[in-house]
Amino acid sequence: MKKIIIAVSALFISITLSAQDLITKVPSTASAVVSIKGKNVLQLMSLEEFSNSKFGSFLEKQLMDESKGELENLEDLGLDYNNTFHYFFEINDGVYTNCFLIPLKDGKAFTSLLRTSEIKRTVTDGNLSYIQNYRGDEVTMWNEDVLMFVISSDHKVKEESYSYYNDYSSEAVEEEDYYTSDAYKKEQEEREKKRLEKQEKREEREKEFSQVVLDKAKKILAGTYANKSILTNKSYLKSLGKGKEEASVWVNDFATIYEQAIPSYMLGNSFNPYNFMNIDKLYGGLTLMAKLNFNEDEAVIKTKYTMNDEMAEIYKPMYNGKINKSFAKYINEDNMLGYMSLNLSTEGVLKAYPNLVSSMFDTGSGETISESVALGTKVFSMLIDEEETAKIFRGDMFLALTNLTEKQVTYTDYEYDEDFNYKEIEKTKTETIPDFIFMFTSEEQEIFNRLVRIGVKEKQLEANNGVYQLIDLPKSTPFNIYVMYKDNMVFLGSSLKDLNAIQSGRFVSKLSGAHKKNITKNASSVFVNGKKIIAEIPAESFPRELRNKVDFLTSNTEDIKFNFQKIKGNSMKGELIWEIPSEGHKNSFVYFINIIDAMMD
């Protein structure tokens, strides 16, 4: 059944993709693919609108300068903006290939950008033209429909080059005149011979590699692969979805990437991690997908990690914590600049950690390291009482940046008399210092009380109505830190006023349902109140070039949110939302172009 679904979806995708979609040129063995959908972007902002923006005009001016006036605008460049641009990365046996595929409408237009030396070096082979750099690791290739850049690097050569030093590894110098002896000269000659041999070998490999890169480029452009294109890769197909995003990133099986990047044979036999670590168990089936959508009122990046069944089983309990709903009682969103919640389960982490480490080293090879790790994790599990430890630190925590307060600080300056004799004087200035509060759940009040008693006795803490000030902070630390315990929670914060209010039950809380939902439903949630932060930061704290743009930034910055969901099935989903102001921008893509324009002023 699964196979039928994949076959049907592959068919559907190949029909919906335009005949010229360059994705068919990406091999199924690609480790990562990044795509930018020109058509979707143009729906948000036409090429003409973009050309009229300051950023667009700037790019066009650069284009005109580079082409010596032959290309006046982006349209003249001959790119097919309505099509999809792709980048892919492939690792094969220590050879890294980066490839950019750019759709063309007019294959000749962009050649105005080439330098005379590049035009001279251009080779025409049938309907395709290409330039290869002197080292041979970069190829620019194009035909009527595609412009392609291939940048490769050969990581095998680097491995070999180090072995040259091995010739010098064990020298025993006993005689004083050793360096003038015939034996030494003979050894030197042999070493020189070996060096030349290796150099020759390296040069040969470079020549060979240069041909490999060129052949590879031709193969990509032709799109004829024995293993077929990426459209036969199940994980990639699954990541495609409805295709409404403006840009997407897909990263293939991490285990394959590691194994291809550093093949086992490159590491030799002694202490080869592949012998005692099970990379496949840890990273096998782990893929990453991210999609960027420019919506009308927000820009959203959605990410999805997918892992193998075994890893999902191990990780699930770690992220399956319960957030303490009482955290919300001590937050007032009117004063809140941002927060971060983390919803881990200490019990889950402690139970999962030994399994994770055991799996990692479980190669079945009987290697001493693997066996020792298995023994160690077993002992760890026996010694640690997960449930009792979780009573001290349950794993749910909340950090809020509550305010920016202005604090008067002194500094030394000089006062000069008319003869330029000077004396040191003390002046004051205002600094903006953040207030924060950090809370975590702990059922062990007894442990807290004992620690506090020791702290007070050792003069590390100063008691003040149930709130304790840390007094061992390094001098000049710009804020104080207070600590207290209440209702199964430990509080750490910089505002004595807030902590006193919490301790005496006078704290006024306010938190919207949307925030409460984000905090409780997700494994981790981050919120940044962009508008409030920019409004509260003193203008002089901005870089000089931004100081006159503070008003613009204040009226054009909204909230930024990041939520990381709990593991469902085999996946972990994340979502970054960048909200934009309701007025002044047609959509979030135009918003970012407008911001760039404003910053260019």
DSSP single-letter state for residue 330:
G
Q: Both tokens of residue 579? A: 């909200």
Nearest CA among 283, 287, 292, 289 for reference residue 303 = 289
Among 47, 237, 447, 470, binds another protein (CB under 8 A): 470
Nearest approach, Cβ of 44 to another protein (angstroms)? 29
Alpha-carbon gap, residue 274 to 262, rounded angstroms: 10
Q: Which is nearer to another protein, 5 or 471 (CB)?
A: 471
- Window 320-359: residues binding another protein (CB under 8 A): none
Yes or no: say if 556 and 308 are a contact pair by the CB < 8 Å rule. Answer: no
Nearest CA among 328, 470, 469 for reference residue 400 = 328
Alpha-carbon gap, residue 489 to 438, rounded angstroms: 10
Among 294, 319, 398, 436, binds another protein (CB under 8 A): 436
Q: Which is nearer to another protein, 468 or 589 (CB)?
A: 468
Q: Is 601 in the site for another protein (CB under 8 A)?
A: no
Q: Is 422 in the site for another protein (CB under 8 A)?
A: yes
Yes or no: say if 157 and 94 are a contact pair by the CB < 8 Å rule. Answer: no
Alpha-carbon gap, residue 71 to 397, rounded angstroms: 57
Q: Is 451 in the site for another protein (CB under 8 A)?
A: no
Among 52, 541, 551, 600, binds another protein (CB under 8 A): 541
Q: Is 162 in the site for another protein (CB under 8 A)?
A: no
Nearest approach, Cβ of 543 to another protein (angstroms)? 5
Q: Is 300 in the site for another protein (CB under 8 A)?
A: no
- Window 491-510: residues binding another protein (CB under 8 A): 492, 494
Total interface residues for another protein by CB under 8 A? 41
- Among the listed ranges 204-212, 222-230, 473-481, 521-529, the one in contact with another protein (CB under 8 A) is 473-481
Nearest approach, Cβ of 81 to another protein (angstroms)? 32
Q: Is 414 in the site for another protein (CB under 8 A)?
A: yes
Q: Is 479 in the site for another protein (CB under 8 A)?
A: yes
Q: Which is nearer to another protein, 190 or 431 (CB)?
A: 431
Calculate Rg over the CA atoms of the chain: 31
CA triple 511-516-522, angle to 5 deg? 150
Among 171, 174, 177, 418, binds another protein (CB under 8 A): 418
Residues near 20 by beta carbon (within 8 Å), at least 6 away in sequence: 80, 83, 103, 145
Provide the angle, in degrees to the nearest 10, between the axes of the packed helices 368-383 and 346-361.
Answer: 160
Nearest approach, Cβ of 240 to another protein (angstroms)? 38
Alpha-carbon gap, residue 154 to 141, rounded angstroms: 20
- Among the listed ranges 37-45, 76-84, 414-422, 588-596, the one in contact with another protein (CB under 8 A) is 414-422
Residue 72 main-chain phi, psi, to 5 deg: -95, -30
Q: Is 387 in the site for another protein (CB under 8 A)?
A: no
Q: Is 371 in the site for another protein (CB under 8 A)?
A: no
Among 404, 502, 553, 595, binds another protein (CB under 8 A): 404
How do strand 338-343 and strand 396-416 relate by DSSP bridges? antiparallel
What count of other Cβ atoms lies within 10 Å of the Cβ of residue 344? Answer: 20
Q: Is 445 in the site for another protein (CB under 8 A)?
A: no
Q: Is 431 in the site for another protein (CB under 8 A)?
A: yes
Alpha-carbon gap, residue 365 to 378, rounded angstroms: 19
Q: Is 591 in the site for another protein (CB under 8 A)?
A: no
Q: Is 539 in the site for another protein (CB under 8 A)?
A: no
Nearest CA among 565, 515, 527 for reference residue 325 = 515
DSSP single-letter state for residue 126:
T
Residues of this chain that interact with another protein (CB under 8 A) are 397, 399, 401, 404, 407, 409, 411-414, 416, 418-422, 429, 431-434, 436, 438, 440, 470, 474-479, 481, 492, 494, 537-538, 540-541, 543-545
